[in-house]
Structure 1
Amino acid sequence: MKHIRNFCIIAHIDHGKSTLADRLIQACGGVTQRDFHDQMLDSMDIERERGITIKSNTVTLAYKTADGQEYLLNLIDTPGHVDFSHEVRRSLMACEGALIVVDASQGVEAQTVANLYLALEYDLTLLPVINKIDLPAADVDRVREEIDSDLGLDPFAAIPVSAKTGVGIDKVLAGIVDHLPPPKGDPNAPLKALVFDAHFDKFRGVILQCRVMEGTLKPRDVIHFMHSDHDYKVDELGYNQFKLVPKPQLSAGEVGYIVAGVKSVQDIEIGDTITLLDNPASEPIPGYQEAKQVVFSSVYPMSTDEYPDLAKALDKLAINDAALTYEKDSSAALGFGFRCGFLGLLHLDVVQERLQREFNLGLVISAPSVQYCLTLKDESTLNVDNPSNWPDPSNIESATEPYIKATIIIPEEFVGPVMELCREHRSESQTMNYLTADRVEITSEMPLGEVLFEFYGKLKMITRGYGSFDYTPIEYRPTDVVKVDILVNKEPVDAFSYLVHRDKARTRALHYCEQLAEAIPRHQFKIPIQGAIGGSIIARATIQPYRKDVTAKLYGGDVTRKKKLLEKQKKGKAKMKQFGSVNIPQEAFVSVLRAEKD
């Protein structure tokens, strides 16, 4: 066990985690040169195209030191984006140490600090690595100061590397062996194994990624999941070395895979504890947390006959992504669809792109919203994330919405505009902390619903790309939230309804009305588009009708002839407006919601 090292790589998004993992894999001979490609541990096309890690991945590497001693290194590559912090949390539970990677040109950023606190929560040993030293803008000395002041780690223990060119990789491997502790555990104790990840294989079912904390596991053992209370028989286990390498057993301290005939990821819970059915552990591994969905949105097929295809696609996607939740939903305008729960806007974006790309579906996505908690007049409580489920306002006693603690790290010159941006998004308290002479950390408490739309994009624009943002949910607080209906020709269209704070209701209603006025084609009669809270109209736009010149055929005579024709036309238009129906094209739904998201 003393020759095993379990570690993960944590960092802010785009600081070079996957590239560093590639170089470590190559240095240990984990893959042949012929089979190697960039971002080895990123298995999805979207991950490679966007240069981000969405799903944690693990690999077991054999490393031989200069004196000939062999070590087994279990490397877990983790996502850097705030939406997937639950993946990071589970990976940290499976490790004793972590490499904390800092970009030599950008320095310590918000997610770096957030991941550091997560790692300290699980009492991990941290080894700082300064990456991208080959860049012209790299300033290693300044980054060492930030590692000391912001992270509280030994700046001289930080290893300067260039993951792109391979400089310093040998020192990182030596540092992992020398500085990170070996795992602890008793191979003869009752089995305790942590399921920190899983993926679906269509031939073998769910393949579990596990870290054995105590005891020993062998094929044909019957295992018991302590949280989900299911039992399965182990068919095969071993190490994950880009292909599955079977082993006769997994003992305390080892990381590997288990195949046990699990049919769906939803049958188990990621983060669960496995034990033996005939010799169970007394208690599960502490620290288990379920992934919490914070953003909700309805997904409809562009064409109603694609509904069965969408249902199958979501089933298949949920097999691989346990954090995605969905239930049936319907809309008078868009037909049948699904109400889905996501971990954040990036998660929503990734799921939408996977549905379109992997299953070739045209989709309409409703405006994302958060979950509000309502107290009704009869003292019962109700959780609502869908505008169509909003109760009669006269029955609502009070409403609360989720708040977050946002951490924003920016250069000093942008403090004023960023604090103004926070105030515009209903920030309740702001504290400033100077990390270095020219870098400021702003901590702010604000509603999660305010961050959903354009906040992150505006922050990047204001700070010219130098601002970094991270958040943690804190609590529900009282709010004045209203349901806004969009009326087209005085008829409400349920797909456009949304929940919003009263102060922001008119601004967004005006935006919806203007977008719809551009997207809906002109008809023979005037079409009013209105935003309404209950019975009061708060915004309006009008689509002017086509107008035929009915007096063109007149060539003189009394003016009363002209008036008579115009009067007749006016009556016809009024009758047409009364009985005519407005055709809203699918593009109108897409344009409104896309404009909202941008």
Structure 2
Amino acid sequence: MNSNNIRNFCIIAHIDHGKSTLADRLIETTNTVSEREMKEQLLDNMDLERERGITIKLQTVRMYYKASDNIEYELNLIDTPGHTDFNYEVSRSLAACEGALLLVDATQGVQAQTIANLKLALEQNLTIIPVINKIDMPNADAESVIKELEELEEFDGLDLSNVILASAKNGIGIDDILESIIQHVPAPKGNSEKPLQALIFDSHYDVYRGVVLHIRVFNGSIRAGMKIKMLKSDLVFEALQVGVFLPEMQSVEALDAGEVGFISTNIKVVSNIKVGDTIINPNIPDTEAVPGYKEVKPMVYAGLFPIRNEDQDKLKDAVEKLALNDSAFIYKQENSMALGVGFRCGFLGILHMEIIQERLEREYGIEILSTFPSVEYRVTLKNGEIATINNPMLLPSFEKIDYIEEPFIDAAIIIPMENIGEIMELCQEKRGCYVDMVYLNNKMAELIFKLPISEIAYDFYDSLKSLTHGYASIDYRDRSYVVSDLVKMDIWLNDEMVDAFSFILPRDKSFERGKQIVQKMKHVIPRKLYPMPVQSVVENKVIAREDIPPLRKSVTGKGYSGSTSKKKKIAKNIKDNKVRQRKFGGVDIPQEAFHAVLDVR
């Protein structure tokens, strides 16, 4: 198709503002999918997405639409997630587009991710089309939302005179949205006659096709059977199949400049595939790379270990394929004395971590035991050396450490005015430092706090939503390191240190948390026939201890009719057996034990 008749766009919004529903209506209106095949959240093809009601993976679909000028246009839509943990998915979508529909809920107004995603889109110089969604709701206030947009400095320079009022659920305003895309989103500028330049903005693994690359062609064209090269990895391969998403994968003769589609490679080794790489013609090696996206920086780290030892190779294969499908997920192998061989993994947040773990269990059938999350600390030793660690077990001994710096982020929290006091108290409990407060309008305010990532990584988001009855939203901004008085806490079980339980925390909270942890673990560690002590240790000092009582079965108790000497001999054998079991018997560590530690952090 002529590139002048192509429009590449995405939908950006805060979580639960109706992105997936709007995508459904666009697909339905353009007759991309038959009525019989149509279903709600069509592009959310993972069970997890449907169960949680959120978009986890960006999805692509090509639509054809005959506009009011009687010309048929090719529309390439890339649906994006809204949760802040999947912000990297949004940035990858934007790199492949020229325009974006900015969706705002008429009942909730502007939220933190609305602003964050808008900034990402403006950095990419995308054309923004504002859409007010859910105008049919009883508590909708479109006029107030439009006024809110006009008052925000982030919207300066945007044309808000033609804001589209819509209801994705009931199909209101869908034709206006399609016409606005045709009129305002610029056509791609690429040239099919120039040397090949294509951006890999996503990828996935298919059992039959091997690695499937999702690409946006900027210049040149790609045909099946053509030799192509990945610029960064120097990998040369053949494009076995070239196609588009309708939304099902369908072969086409070629992908020309400006088009979005996929390449089937039949590559089975996935370690060399990098999202953000540029595909070029191997005969023209001096072709410049397409500007990709910045390297992702994980926010939290955790260890993933298979419960069954025989699943170790299976887990290795699974994490490789998941990393191909989710470039924000990073991993490297690690060994634990308690849990065996596993992987130290980096995630964008706790929700991202939970999703990865559930996908490993559901899609690959592997039972996973995950350690509690940590962050990346910067440690300065007394000899002047600086070490960066994300695994508490790698922390040098306390007598060698001069000071420890932990990562803080600038959190922009948008909340109702009546909840300001509660949220400020929550942030202070999490060791947050107040920076600023801005009144957005007569209902909402934006709090800026500098917060330690270690304190907000686990349950901060849930607490925020609970205190504000679901109306708060948060966006993370610049990261910086701050010197803190931190110590490493080790947990000893049955007189052996369990390295997977070690974590770093503020010194002034160590005694209280150490006591809470051993009390909780006393009830979640399975009992044995011998007593087991549980101890919290900081800087080689035991600060709290509980004993897990043994299982008891008295064979010489009531009803025993043997002699006294026989009774003493049995009691001695029982005692010797308990000593031997305590020395050689293993202790089962269930996932609940890690949750017990998490619950008091």
CA distance 1:575–1:263, change in 2 (3 Å): closer
Matching residue within 175, 190, 196 for 2:195? 190
Percent sequence identity is: 45
Q: Which residue of 2 aligns with 1:557?
A: none
> Which amino acid is 1:302 matched to?
I
TM-score (norm. length: structure 1):
0.90
1:460 to partner: Cα distance: 1.2
Structure 2 CA distance, aligned partners of 1:521 and 1:322? 38
Matching residue within 351, 370, 375 for 1:346? 351
1:552 to partner: Cα distance: 9.5
Structure 2 CA distance, aligned partners of 1:95 and 1:260? 24
> Which amino acid is 1:62 matched to?
Y
CA contact (8 A) 2:199 2:279 kept: yes
Structure 2 CA distance, aligned partners of 1:288 and 1:316? 21
Structure 1 CA distance, aligned partners of 2:260 and 2:6? 10
Residue 383 in 1 paired to residue 388 in 2? yes
Query: Bigger shift: 521-530 or 352-361?
Result: 521-530
Structure 2 CA distance, aligned partners of 1:527 and 1:481? 29
CA contact (8 A) 1:489 1:582 kept: no
> Which amino acid is 1:123 matched to?
N
Q: Which residue of 1 aligns with 2:131?
A: 129
1:370 to partner: Cα distance: 1.0
Q: Which residue of 2 aligns with 1:561?
A: none
Task: Trace 1:446-457 onto structure 2 (pairs within 5 A).
Answer: 446-457=451-462
CA distance 1:379–1:155, change in 2 (3 Å): same
Q: Which residue of 2 aligns with 1:110?
A: 112
CA distance 1:106–1:471, change in 2 (3 Å): same
Structure 1 CA distance, aligned partners of 2:272 and 2:216? 19
Which sections of structure 2, spanning at least 5 residues, go unmatched?
Answer: 559-566
Structure 2 CA distance, aligned partners of 1:441 and 1:333? 45
CA distance 1:271–1:313, change in 2 (3 Å): closer
CA contact (8 A) 2:60 2:78 kept: yes
Residue 35 in 1 paired to residue 65 in 2? no
Residue 258 in 1 paired to residue 260 in 2? no
Structure 2 CA distance, aligned partners of 1:208 and 1:549? 65
> Which amino acid is 2:124 matched to?
Y
Matching residue within 58, 64, 78 for 1:62? 64
1:111 to partner: Cα distance: 0.5
- Cα offsets for 1:278-326 (capped at 9, x unmatched): 2345422224322222221112233334434433433443343333333
Q: Which residue of 2 aligns with 1:148?
A: 150
1:24 to partner: Cα distance: 0.2
- Cα offsets for 1:136-174 (capped at 9, x unmatched): 121111111122223424443221111111111111111
1:401 to partner: Cα distance: 2.1
CA contact (8 A) 1:54 1:79 kept: yes
TM-score (norm. length: structure 2):
0.90
CA distance 1:39–1:296, change in 2 (3 Å): same
SS of the counterpart of 1:262? coil
> Which amino acid is 1:47 matched to?
E
Q: Which residue of 1 aligns with 2:12?
A: 10
1:525 to partner: Cα distance: 6.4
Q: Which residue of 2 aligns with 1:297?
A: 302
Matching residue within 421, 434, 441 for 1:416? 421
Q: Which residue of 1 aligns with 2:223?
A: 218
- Cα offsets for 1:234-266 (capped at 9, x unmatched): 233233222333333332222222233433443
> Which amino acid is 2:31 matched to?
G
Structure 2 CA distance, aligned partners of 1:591 and 1:245? 48
Q: Which residue of 2 aligns with 1:444?
A: 449
Q: Which residue of 2 aligns with 1:559?
A: none
CA contact (8 A) 2:533 2:545 kept: yes
Q: Which residue of 2 aligns with 1:85?
A: 87
CA contact (8 A) 1:300 1:363 kept: yes
The number of equivalent residue pairs is 587
CA distance 1:17–1:138, change in 2 (3 Å): same
SS of the counterpart of 1:266? coil
Residue 49 in 1 paired to residue 54 in 2? no
1:62 to partner: Cα distance: 0.5
Q: Which residue of 1 aligns with 2:74?
A: 72
> Which amino acid is 2:99 matched to?
G
Structure 2 CA distance, aligned partners of 1:531 and 1:299? 23
SS of the counterpart of 1:271? coil
Structure 1 CA distance, aligned partners of 2:130 and 2:114? 11
Residue 227 in 1 paired to residue 227 in 2? no
Q: Which residue of 2 aligns with 1:502?
A: 507
1:33 to partner: Cα distance: 1.0
SS of the counterpart of 1:46? helix
Structure 2 CA distance, aligned partners of 1:238 and 1:338? 35
Which sections of structure 1, spanning at least 5 residues, go unmatched?
Answer: 554-564
SS of the counterpart of 2:136? coil
1:42 to partner: Cα distance: 1.4
CA contact (8 A) 2:244 2:260 kept: yes
Matching residue within 508, 530, 535 for 2:540? 535
SS of the counterpart of 2:32? coil
CA distance 1:595–1:34, change in 2 (3 Å): farther
How big is the alpha-carbon RMSD for the aligned residues of Structure 1 and Structure 2?
Answer: 3.0
- Cα offsets for 1:386-445 (capped at 9, x unmatched): 222222222223322222121111000010111111111121332111111110011122
Structure 2 CA distance, aligned partners of 1:574 and 1:413? 65
Q: Which residue of 1 aligns with 2:322?
A: 317
Structure 2 CA distance, aligned partners of 1:218 and 1:546? 69
